[in-house]
A and B are shown apart, each in its own frame.
Chain A
Amino acid sequence: MTSLAEQTRTGAPPEPGGRRRSRAARGRPRLYLSYGQDMALLNTRPKRTAVIGLVILAALLPFSMPDDLLHLLALGFVATIGAIGLNLVTGYAGQISLGHAFFLGVGAYTAAVISGDPDGRTIGFGITFLPLWLLAAGLVAGLTGLVVAPLAVRLRGLYLAIVTLGLVFIGLHIFREWDSVTGGPGLGRPGAIPEMFGINFAVDGPAMTRDQKLYLLTLVLLLIFALPAANLARSKVGRAFAAVRDRDMAASIIGVSLTRYKLLAFAISSFYAGCAGALLTMVIGFFDPTSWNLQLSIEYLAMVLIGGAGTISGSIMGALFITLLPRLTRELPALMPFISDSVTDMPNVFQVETMLYGLLIIGFLIFEPRGLYGIWVRCRNYWRSWPFSY
């Protein structure tokens, strides 16, 4: 019940059904009875059912799939967290960042140092409690993002892209040279060790294998990370990001502080990247300082663009698609005999795979700028009005 005082203050009677935002009019999924209902995370019943169904399906998957596929999916989930981070800064706030690999690396090394073996070849503190190193990885990366952000605040568009690109090269140099932390190129160091409530997720257990445990863990983490991002995107902050993206001049005139929101976008994005980097090394198990290169940044950019810039579900689709792509192209030699699976021959799968990144980026940007999400929207709209064309 709204109190009388509040009612007089707002000067309007309480809206009927305004509180129960979940209750939509029967048979009219697109009729919104209140603003809250329109802005809700899952604003229609089919959406709600589908999301719950998908989560249940994903949770049941590890008991019916081979371990190597689960491993790949776990990598995909982690990549999704990173892609969501990049999407926040590039898709929502419109700041092109080619430096994502650097922040992934910062997070990865923070987590590896905190959870690493204290007696090992590289620095480690032996604190393997997962939430702790995950949070630390995110925070350190986020702070690094804040340090770099002043440059970003002063620069726009392509200047920013080039500076973040330079960041990747500088980061790569630091990772290569600081071998007490990173193990040095060619040697590397083990990734973060995930331990929580007495369970070590990174080794085979009596009930479940390593990959099954990691799959479930990353699935839960993905949900934990995706939800705040989706909420952020539909909040005041998300709208401010969109305003900065669409026209920064106009945004600053209507009172959106450019400095503040660009800083915020960079910090949050780097936080997500740091967490994703830490989790990535956790799933892979061992990593080399040279892996945080420009190629990785471009891969994440491809995830965001192919999935759909400015949508969380797009990031999920894009990241899973890009992660599963190598697996799909490995099947090509069986279908097309002229493609070889050896590195030394001319059209080989690795070339096809790399080229597909490029071609997919070009193709999507020219023909479907909204990415996989856009394709999904078109399918949905087609079936919504089926059998009529509009």
Chain B
Amino acid sequence: MTELVQTLVRGLGSGCIYALLAVGFVIIYKSMRIISFAQPSLMLAGAVLVSYLATTVGFYAAVALAALGIAVLALGIERSTIRPLVGRPIFVIAIVTIGIDIVVRVIVNGFIGLDVRQVGDPWGLKTVSIGSVLIQQRHLAMIATTLVLVAVLFAFFRYTRLGLAMRAASFDQEAALAQGVSVGLVFATSWAMAGALAAVAGAFVGTGAGIDQLTWIIAFKALAAIILGGLDSLGGAVIGGLTVGVVESLVATYQQDWAPWLGQNFAVVSPYVLMMLVLLIRPYGLFGTPEVERV
């Protein structure tokens, strides 16, 4: 029982990282109908920025500054490379974001170096015990931060003018334009928000073990999360992210005993297996809207 609870909390913790990244993916998807494959590099850039800033201004301020910095970077990317491509096939834009990912990642990797970099978080691998259950402090921090951020985001989309504009633009871009919504502003905001979320996620990825040049692979699990939840559902992204985290952590704990033939580290690919299974049953994810096509 203790083991199960610990596994679940660990899963929720890492699930929060996926949820933050997934929400970023979904925000961009909702505004532009593309998936930004540049998110992994932005996440890594955020983590690296935190690791450099944390030594001078402390971890918390570093996370805030990194979120701001990566938001500006994402804004720049959107304005310089993505905006000129608006109207071209989504395929083209998606591939361009892969190109951006490569370029950003090369630069960021230069700053990581060949070793593992610590992000300077105050938690490390320290634990607190609740009853007989040992829980890592960083997982609690992740869950709390994600709860706050997601609540703020939902409030933003629900109660602010810009949030309403973004929802309108995502619902029907032309109608929104006709009503005076600045779609350009919507694009820019969505990229900035996704960048900031990726940076926060990156900082949390770095807690505990630190980051190295292969850390970016983690961000792709968020893709499995948004497929689970459906590409255009914010709530789905959060639930998908948490599900992916929990499943991964359950597999990591129990697979060696129950299904050793799947090989070591099967947990790493379990999100993708889960994603394929879900897609076989529901091609548009659990909460996505099926596309209705008119000719």
Contact = CB atoms under 8 A, between A and B. Distances in A.
A177 B283 contact: no
A158 B264 contact: no
Interface residues of A, number: 46
Given A161-B94, A173-B265, A358-B99, A351 B227 contact: no
Contact of A305 (B88, B95, B279): B95
Interface stretch (B132-140, B167-175, B191-199, B269-277): B269-277
Contacts of B264: 177
A96 B279 contact: no
B282 to A, nearest CB: 10
A365 B92 contact: yes
Contacts of A83: none
Nearest to B111: A346
A177 B267 CA distance: 13
A177 B263 contact: yes
Interface string A79-114: 000000000000000101000000000000000000
Interface residues of B, number: 48
A296 to B, nearest CB: 13
Given A250-B295, A365-B99, A358 B92 contact: no
Interface in A170-213: 170, 172-174, 176-178
**Which of A154, A157, A249 gathers the greatest number of chain B CB atoms within 10 Å?**
A157
Interface string B24-60: 0000000000110000000000000000000000000
B223 interface: yes
Interface string A154-171: 111111011101110110
A361 interface: yes
Given A159-B283, A176-B263, A253-B295, A358 B100 contact: yes
A361 B114 contact: no
Contacts of B269: 169-170, 172-173
A169 B35 CA distance: 19
Contacts of B276: 151, 163, 166, 170
Contact of A173 (B81, B100, B220, B266): B266
A346 B109 CA distance: 10
A361 B95 contact: yes
A253 B284 CA distance: 23
B231 interface: yes
A174 B262 CA distance: 9
A344 interface: yes
Contacts of B96: 361-362, 365-366
Contacts of A177: 262-264
Nearest to B285: A159
Contacts of A253: 295
A291 to B, nearest CB: 15
A172 B263 CA distance: 12
B220 A151 contact: no
A357 interface: yes
A366 B84 contact: yes
A358 B110 contact: no
B280 interface: yes
B102 A366 contact: no
Given A358-B102, A362-B100, A249 B95 contact: no
B212 to A, nearest CB: 15
A355 interface: yes
A359 interface: yes
Interface string B52-93: 000000000000000000000000000001001100101110
B147 interface: no
B231 A159 contact: yes
A163 B279 contact: yes
A162 B223 contact: yes
Contacts of B102: 298, 354-355, 357-358, 361
**Which of A176, A253, A361 gathers the greatest number of chain B CB atoms within 10 Å?**
A361
B153 interface: no
B272 A151 contact: no
B268 interface: yes
A309 to B, nearest CB: 9
Contact of B275 (A163, A176, A249): A163
Given A298-B98, A361-B98, A365-B92, 10 more contacts: A94-B91, A96-B91, A155-B279, A162-B35, A170-B272, A170-B273, A177-B264, A344-B114, A354-B102, A355-B103
List the 7 shortest-distance A-B pairs measured between CB atoms, nearest first. Answer: A177-B263, A358-B102, A166-B272, A361-B99, A358-B103, A362-B99, A358-B99
16 contacts: A154-B283, A155-B283, A156-B291, A159-B283, A162-B35, A163-B227, A169-B272, A170-B273, A173-B263, A173-B269, A357-B102, A358-B100, A358-B106, A360-B99, A362-B103, A365-B96
